[in-house]
Structure 1
Amino acid sequence: EGENRILVQWAINNPINTNEETIAEIIKKRLSNVSGIPFIEIIREAFIAKKIIVVRRLLDTKVPVNDQIDILLILGDKNEALQRALTCGNNDLVLYVLMRIKADESPTEFMMRLEKIRSLPLSLHLQCLEEIERKKLHTDLIKKSPNEKEKIAYSCIIQRFGSPQIQNQKTELSNASKLFKEVKNDFIAHLVDDEQRLITRQDELEKKILNSLLKGLSLCATIEQLMMNNEREAEQLKKEFNMPDKRYWWIKIQVLAKKSAWSSLADFGKKPSSPIGYEPFIDICLKYGKLEEAKRYVDKSLYSSKLDEDRVPYMYAKVQ
């Protein structure tokens, strides 16, 4: 793979060979049948080098259709992006492309575009029209009654849950945050911004971690899911979102118990003073029928300096 990457760099950036058609043919001829070649990375490299013809010629070479469409939209080739989405028959992908196009066009232009698409499923056509009307309604409401901004912001949040596309969800949340800030509701705006950051990170993590399903989960549930097999990512997310230590400890002891990692749980308990005390350690052990493990946490030789003295009698009673 390293040799192939070197070849790609040479083919794209070779000063002797400046014909982009030839560059594309060389890459396809030498690499198209080699397993493990990340053609999307080759395309991105060509795009950075401003070799647009190379980009277009390589789009059909071992590149997933959603990546093809993203590249085409970046290039501004809306019609081709839409046609490829329609051809693959994925309605969610078609809607994603249409919403991306709508963001760059006036309502009139977008309506005319919809009228020209003969192969567009009726359900998607109606959904696009509904989206146009909703945006227009919001704009009109704000003009007539600025006091309606907060209600519209909440409607954007509700709309976010009806969209399967991450980009559409982020757009709705961004609109909501902007409106909340305009009415000086900074607390809710901050929560909305955090949610937008979370769905972005969930999307990134799903692409990075094989077989991970994180979209739609809360921050706590996301961290819990990551802790099962990717604790480093869980810790990073905790830092990014400033999760309180107490909440993080609660999640971690539950995950360790689910994994039957009793030695790890004991080691975790020996860290500097637990922000949640040690009774939760006992409770989680008892929940899984591990009485002997539970007794660890009332052993004064191990935890005497850390135990909450007021709770010691109750903790002893639980493990008898």
Structure 2
Amino acid sequence: MKQDRLALEKAVDSGDTDLVYHVLLHLHKRLTLGDFFRLIESGGPKLIAASRLLEVYAKEQNREMLRDFYYSDDRRVESAVLSLDEASRLQDPVACLAAVKAAHKFFSDDKDRGFEAKMMGESTRLLTLQQQLDKEVEGKADGKVEFFGKSVNETIRLCILNGLSKRAEKIKDEFKVPEKRFWFLKLYALTELGDFEALEAFSKSKRSPIGYEAFVRHLVNAGHSRDAVAYVPRCDGPRRAEMYVLCGEWRMAGNTCKERGDKKGLDELRKKCPNSMIARELDQIASNMK
């Protein structure tokens, strides 16, 4: 009888979910998209249940319908979230970036979503930069390097690993990466590369905001105890003996205690030493202390 509103209201009143879906899908097929959404949106409290069921159905079965539904109802936040969800599913960088830009636009149109709009703006800038980086390293690196979709931290790490240290610095400044975090990232990346000459130069470029104990501990954990020894003299005085022990250099640890006049510290080393040979060396050091 084409009594569309009445049919939908009666279906909702029945409490039968299947019946509501039957009417909704019938109307969606018969009406233009604009008329279909206007019917639901202008139905007032009586059709709220139908609107929610339509949203549930569209999320699971017809995301194009969901996008149109949100747009017609001016639901900007929901539209933005939907765009981000789609971006996470896309493999094509161009399509993914377009979806993030759409989310940025939706958030920007809502005056109460300034923070989200700012984050989407930064995401757009990062993804655009990553597209450029992917083109730069294409064919140059051993194996396939993919920047697109990575975090800021991972992008910096990949830049360092692929000889793009200046770009890493620029990304740090552009995205306001804290100095301490950047130093850890570069420490880890250069260690992974095994470029200890570059690591030494980096450690001397300015006073380390993470200290030098971090260098010692990371290098030891990565299996480079010999290279770690060079950073111990730059650690805080009271910590040097412990750092030498961490590197397996018990004699150096003992001499450090001697230089500091730390008889108690030397005694502690003597108790913990791993074998009798080292124990004798520490005893000799202790005997020469005043």
* Equivalence for 1:137: 69
1:227 corresponds to which of 146, 153, 160: 160
Distance (whole Å) between structure 1 residues aligned to residue 177 and residue 220 of structure 2 = 27
Residues 308 and 158 of structure 1: is their aligned pair in 2 closer, same or farther, counting only changes over 3 Å? Answer: farther
1:169 corresponds to which of 76, 96, 99: 96
Residues 159 and 283 of structure 1: is their aligned pair in 2 closer, same or farther, counting only changes over 3 Å? Answer: same
1:298 corresponds to which of 206, 209, 232: 232
1:188 corresponds to which of 116, 121, 135: 116
Q: Return the offset for 1:310.
A: 7.2
* Equivalence for 1:206: 134
Q: Report the residue type matching 1:242 in the other structure.
A: K
Distance (whole Å) between structure 2 residues aligned to residue 254 and residue 206 of structure 1 = 22
* Equivalence for 1:215: 148
Q: Report the residue type matching 2:176 in the other structure.
A: N
* Equivalence for 2:86: 159
Contact kept? 2:93, 2:148, Cα under 8 Å: no
Residues 270 and 153 of structure 1: is their aligned pair in 2 closer, same or farther, counting only changes over 3 Å? Answer: same
TM-score, structure 1 as length reference: 0.51
Distance (whole Å) between structure 1 residues aligned to residue 238 and residue 124 of structure 2 = 42
* Equivalence for 1:263: 197
Q: Return the offset for 1:215.
A: 1.6
Contact kept? 1:224, 1:251, Cα under 8 Å: yes
State which structure, 1 or 2, has the greater radius of gyration over its C-alpha atoms: 2
Q: Return the offset for 1:252.
A: 0.7
Q: Return the offset for 1:288.
A: 2.4
1:244-288 Cα shifts (integer Å, max 9, x gaps): 221111111111111111222122111211111112211221022
Distance (whole Å) between structure 1 residues aligned to residue 217 and residue 183 of structure 2 = 14
Aligned partner of residue 274 in structure 1, secondary structure: coil
Distance (whole Å) between structure 2 residues aligned to residue 314 and residue 184 of structure 1 = 53
Asked if 1:273 is matched to 2:207, the reply is yes
Q: Which runs of 5+ in 2 are unaligned?
A: 1-32, 35-60, 140-144, 249-290
TM-score, structure 2 as length reference: 0.56
Contact kept? 2:80, 2:104, Cα under 8 Å: yes
Aligned partner of residue 161 in structure 1, secondary structure: helix
Q: Report the residue type matching 2:130 in the other structure.
A: Q
Q: Return the offset for 1:183.
A: 4.2
Distance (whole Å) between structure 2 residues aligned to residue 178 and residue 314 of structure 1 = 55
How many aligned positions are there? 183
Distance (whole Å) between structure 2 residues aligned to residue 197 and residue 283 of structure 1 = 35
Q: Report the residue type matching 1:239 in the other structure.
A: D
Q: Return the offset for 1:191.
A: 1.6
Q: Report the residue type matching 2:115 in the other structure.
A: F
Report the identity percentage: 25
1:67-95 Cα shifts (integer Å, max 9, x gaps): xxxxxxxxxxxxxxxxxxxxxxxxxxxxx
Contact kept? 1:138, 1:152, Cα under 8 Å: yes
Aligned partner of residue 230 in structure 2, secondary structure: helix
Q: Which runs of 5+ in 1 are unaligned?
A: 1-106, 109-128, 143-147
Distance (whole Å) between structure 1 residues aligned to residue 196 and residue 222 of structure 2 = 11
Q: Report the residue type matching 2:217 in the other structure.
A: D
Q: How does 1:16-27 map to 2 (within 5 A)?
A: none
Distance (whole Å) between structure 2 residues aligned to residue 187 and residue 316 of structure 1 = 48
